[in-house]
Amino acid sequence: MRGSKAFSYPYILWLLLFTVVPLFIVIYFAFTNDAGEFTFDNFSYMSLYAVVFWRSFRLAIISTVICLILGYPLAYIMSRLKKKHQTIAMILIMLPMWMNFLLRTYAWLTILENNGLLNNFLSWLHLPEIAIINTPAAVGLGMVYNYLPFMILPIYTSLTKTDQSLIEAAKDMGCSERQVFTKVIFPLSIPGVLSGIIMVFVPAVSTFVISKILGGGANMLVGDLIEMQFLGGAYNANMGAAISLVMMVIIMIFIWLTGKIDKNGDGEGSVLL
């Protein structure tokens, strides 16, 4: 297939124009001020927002861990089902994912409000009501709910890819079921776990929609901070670009580190489906 390399040229051009160039524009904005002069001020000013970064990362890490704890067993149970049931379970997991993200988040608003469904239910049971809306807990819950499928699917994929003969061999050699899991199944599913972690952590750390709707504006995350400087209440595109750049670098380092753990990774990323 000589010459067919040319098929990729339109896309290469596209990537350059709509992915690479924009990133350079962000870098340009980050290092200039409103008048277009070169400056480092945007970065030195950012120490004021350390608390926002800390809050975002803490919430994102907690949500990722919860997703992993909830998602791994489910992926494992799913991979042990009959083929037909697996398909149904897959559909059930993907269905909420394909509905609009905002609708899902809004659903939690109606549940968690002070006079929402949860509190109505609690008072019907004569239990004390809880004030959870507009707290970090509500934001974290929103993250777990929205991103849980992103954790389940890659783990499930890597579990189903596991060679059954390896498991049988281990059993034949006298491994207990627990040993089979810790020595064979789990190590082989690590690539799935890692890509699940990335796929939950990255959107969680950068979200602004969830914190706006469930956090009431008082639990500001890095995403809110960026949004605020571009389209929100404190217009400063240069500052916003600088914050974006810092966040992007941190995330790149994070992805690179997770890639290091997965020595067998082929560097080609893992696909959702």
- Footprint (CB under 8 A) of other proteins, residues 5-24: 5-12, 14-15, 18-23
By the rule CB under 8 A, 87 interacts with other proteins: yes
By the rule CB under 8 A, 151 interacts with other proteins: no
Residue from 140, 184, 208, 242 touching other proteins (CB under 8 A): that is 208
Handedness of CA 93, 97, 99, 101 (dihedral sign): positive
What does the alpha-carbon distance between residue 224 and residue 241 come to, in Å, rounded to a whole number?
A: 13
Piece in contact with other proteins (CB under 8 A), picked from 61-69, 102-110, 162-170, 183-191: 102-110
Q: What torsion, rounded to 10 degrees, do the Cα atoms 223, 229, 234, 235 define?
A: -160
By the rule CB under 8 A, 125 interacts with other proteins: no
By the rule CB under 8 A, 251 interacts with other proteins: yes
By the rule CB under 8 A, 62 interacts with other proteins: no
CB of 159 to other proteins, least distance (A): 14
CB of 82 to other proteins, least distance (A): 12
Touching other proteins, residues 219-248 (CB under 8 A): 220, 223-237, 240-241, 244, 247-248
Label residue 135 left, alpha or beta by phi (over 0 means left) and psi (-120 to 50 means alpha).
beta
By the rule CB under 8 A, 46 interacts with other proteins: no
What does the alpha-carbon distance between residue 35 and residue 176 come to, in Å, rounded to a whole number?
A: 69
Whose Cβ is closer to other proteins: residue 170's or residue 241's? 241
Piece in contact with other proteins (CB under 8 A), picked from 36-44, 163-171, 185-193, 249-257: 249-257
Residue pair 68/151 in contact (Cβ under 8 Å)? The answer is: yes
By the rule CB under 8 A, 129 interacts with other proteins: no
Whose Cβ is closer to other proteins: residue 173's or residue 218's? 218
Report which residue type is found at 268. E
CB of 39 to other proteins, least distance (A): 14
What does the alpha-carbon distance between residue 67 and residue 219 come to, in Å, rounded to a whole number?
A: 21
What does the alpha-carbon distance between residue 243 and residue 15 come to, in Å, rounded to a whole number?
A: 23
By the rule CB under 8 A, 97 interacts with other proteins: yes
Residue from 40, 69, 77, 176 touching other proteins (CB under 8 A): that is 77
Whose Cβ is closer to other proteins: residue 51's or residue 261's? 51
Neighbouring C-beta atoms of residue 136, cutoff 10 Å: 18
By the rule CB under 8 A, 115 interacts with other proteins: yes
CB of 48 to other proteins, least distance (A): 6
| 88-to-82, 96, 138 alpha-carbon distances in Å | 10, 14, 30
Residues linked to residue 212 through DSSP beta bridges, in sequence order: none
Whose Cβ is closer to other proteins: residue 101's or residue 186's? 101
Nearest to 153 by CA among 104, 84, 98: 98
What does the alpha-carbon distance between residue 224 and residue 234 come to, in Å, rounded to a whole number?
A: 11
What does the alpha-carbon distance between residue 252 and residue 23 come to, in Å, rounded to a whole number?
A: 13
Piece in contact with other proteins (CB under 8 A), picked from 61-69, 156-164, 181-189, 217-225: 217-225
